[in-house]
């Protein structure tokens, strides 16, 4: 399997020369080949991001995640360090590096936003030198955000305590993370954010706004079963949505220990990506929300004693780069 380092763009440079090559990325030259007048401050960065690609990451997936972080940087100019572990350990302790830069034009020609990338490839033998190499790459006066993707075990990720401990946010995607990632005793658990939860922002807002018109006591009185059905591709989203509903219903006064929360995949695949249902037993009250993300359409159906209510609305899962910013900053 080709190394994920090879699937990413950039010019290979010695680790000791990273800072100098980053500076040269933005050097302008006049017609005679000499240094031009100083350019504007388009290269000013707002944050550091370390994107750590675990051993489960394949080269095409690494390239896809690189496109996500690149799209994110169009709104938030960043110094981005991409860590690429080797699948096969080698005796050499050398860390390979690439540098890469790109600029994006905003709403006007003067609105130019530039981002700097450093890719680091390391073997298990070179692991003990990684902290020093990463430190060279970071802008020390800016906050650090750590995005870990494609790790096989939480204990393997926990070995990178220097990143987990000093990062303002630690981002994982529980759809791709180890099963215990959300409960593992991380060094700074309050910094942990799940990209699945962020992707569900529109769904959470829609359901919350619809149910907010009813008194909380009416929503939880007699509630017996909360069901979340998910398509096969949205198992993690179904689990995260069910956990969110449990917390919100508890805030409304529900005894969640007496409510059966069920997350299931329907026997036959349907267009609806997610379906939420509240069952009140013998009561005529009911609530159902179904979301078809391919069509961008959601349907609410409810009856809380004043007659049936049906409402159509737009819905979607947040795109990856916006989910990244939502998890980082909110």
Q: What is the DSSP string of 276-291?
A: EEEE-TTSS-EEEEEE
Query: If pLDDT is split at 50, 70 and 90, which confidence band does 29 have?
Result: very low
| Tens digit of each residue's pLDDT (9 = 90 or more) over 125-138 | 899 999 999 999 99
Query: If pLDDT is split at 50, 70 and 90, which confidence band does 231 have?
Result: very high
DSSP, collapsed to helix, strand or coil, labels residue 101 as strand
Q: What pLDDT is stored for residue 295 in this prediction?
A: 94
- pLDDT of 32 strictly over 50: no
- pLDDT of 38 strictly over 50: no
- Tokens 């190499």 appear where? 133
Computed on alpha carbons and rounded to an integer, the radius of gyration of the chain in Å comes to 24
Provide the residue ranges of all domains of the chain, joining segments of one domain with +: 4-195+325-329, 201-314
Run of H or E including 148: strand 144-149
- Which among 251, 297, 250 is positioned nearest to 272, based on CA atoms? 297
Q: Is 237 exposed, middle or buried (0-12, 13-18, 19+ CB in 10 A)?
A: buried
Query: If pLDDT is split at 50, 70 and 90, which confidence band does 35 have?
Result: very low
- pLDDT of 2 strictly over 90: no
Instruction: Classify residue 200 by its DSSP letter.
Output: T
Q: What is the DSSP string of 298-314?
A: EEEEEESSS--EEEEEE
**Mean pLDDT confidence for 233-255:** 97
**φ, ψ (nearest 5 deg) of residue 283:** -70, 150
- pLDDT of 34 strictly over 50: no
Instruction: Classify residue 74 by its DSSP letter.
Output: T
- Tokens 């009911």 appear where? 286
Mean pLDDT of the chain: 90
- Tokens 């707002």 appear where? 46
SS (H, E, C) 29-57: ECCCCCECCCCCCCCCCCEEEEEEECCCC
Run of H or E including 71: helix 59-73
| Tens digit of each residue's pLDDT (9 = 90 or more) over 95-110 | 999 999 988 777 777 7
- pLDDT of 39 strictly over 50: no
- pLDDT of 41 strictly over 60: no
Contacts of 108 (CB under 8 A, 6+ apart): none
CA dist., res. 119 & res. 134, Å (int): 10
- Which among 206, 199, 85, 201 is positioned nearest to 150, based on CA atoms? 85
Model-wide pTM > 0.95: no
Contacts of 202 (CB under 8 A, 6+ apart): 314, 315, 316, 317, 318
Query: If pLDDT is split at 50, 70 and 90, which confidence band does 272 have?
Result: low
Q: What pLDDT is stored for residue 28 in this prediction?
A: 55
- Which among 148, 240, 250, 252 is positioned nearest to 201, based on CA atoms? 240
CA dist., res. 66 & res. 61, Å (int): 8
Query: If pLDDT is split at 50, 70 and 90, which confidence band does 36 have?
Result: very low
Q: Is 18 exposed, middle or buried (0-12, 13-18, 19+ CB in 10 A)?
A: buried
**Mean pLDDT confidence for 252-272:** 86
Contacts of 160 (CB under 8 A, 6+ apart): 52, 148
Q: Count Cβ neighbours within 10 Å for each residue of 30-49 and write b for 16 or more, e otherwise.
A: eeeeeeeeeeeeebebebbb
Q: What pLDDT is stored for residue 88 in this prediction?
A: 79
Query: If pLDDT is split at 50, 70 and 90, which confidence band does 92 have?
Result: confident
- pLDDT of 20 strictly over 80: yes
**Mean pLDDT confidence for 50-73:** 95
Chain mean position to CA 285: 37
Q: What pLDDT is stored for residue 121 in this prediction?
A: 95
Lowest mean pLDDT among 10-19, 39-48, 84-93, 240-249: 39-48
Q: What pLDDT is stored for residue 271 in this prediction?
A: 65
**Mean pLDDT confidence for 27-56:** 67
Q: What pLDDT is stored for residue 282 in this prediction?
A: 86
């Amino acid at each position: 399997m080709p190394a994920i380092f090879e699937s990413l763009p950039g010019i290979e440079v010695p680790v000791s020369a990273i800072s100098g090559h980053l500076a040269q990325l933005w050097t302008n030259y006049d017609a005679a080949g000499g240094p031009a007048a100083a350019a504007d401050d388009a290269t000013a960065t707002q944050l550091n991001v370390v994107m750590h690609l675990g051993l489960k990451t394949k080269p095409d997936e690494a390239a896809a995640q690189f496109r996500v972080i690149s799209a994110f940087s169009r709104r938030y100019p960043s110094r981005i360090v991409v860590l690429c572990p080797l699948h096969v350990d080698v005796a050499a302790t050398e860390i390979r590096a690439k540098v890469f830069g790109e600029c994006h034009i905003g709403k006007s020609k003067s609105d130019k936003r530039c981002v700097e990338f450093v890719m680091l490839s390391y073997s298990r033998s070179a692991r003990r030198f990684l902290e020093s190499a990463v430190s060279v790459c970071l802008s020390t006066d800016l906050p650090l955000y750590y995005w870990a993707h494609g790790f096989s075990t939480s204990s393997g990720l926990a070995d990178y305590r220097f990143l987990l401990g000093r990062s303002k946010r630690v981002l994982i995607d529980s759809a791709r993370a180890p099963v215990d990632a959300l409960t593992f005793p991380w060094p700074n658990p309050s910094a942990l954010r799940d990209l699945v939860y962020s992707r569900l922002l529109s769904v959470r807002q829609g359901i919350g706004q619809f149910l907010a018109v009813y008194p909380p006591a009416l929503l939880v009185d007699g509630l017996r079963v909360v069901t979340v059905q998910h398509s096969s591709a949205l198992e993690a989203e179904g689990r995260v949505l069910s956990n969110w509903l449990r917390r919100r219903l508890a805030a409304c006064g529900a005894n969640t220990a007496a409510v059966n929360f069920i997350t299931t995949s329907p026997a036959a695949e349907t267009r609806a990506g997610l379906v939420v249902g509240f069952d009140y037993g013998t009561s005529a009250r009911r609530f159902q929300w179904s979301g078809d993300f391919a069509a961008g359409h959601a349907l609410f159906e409810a009856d809380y004693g004043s007659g049936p209510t049906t409402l159509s609305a737009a819905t979607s899962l947040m795109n990856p780069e916006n989910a990244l910013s939502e998890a980082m900053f909110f």
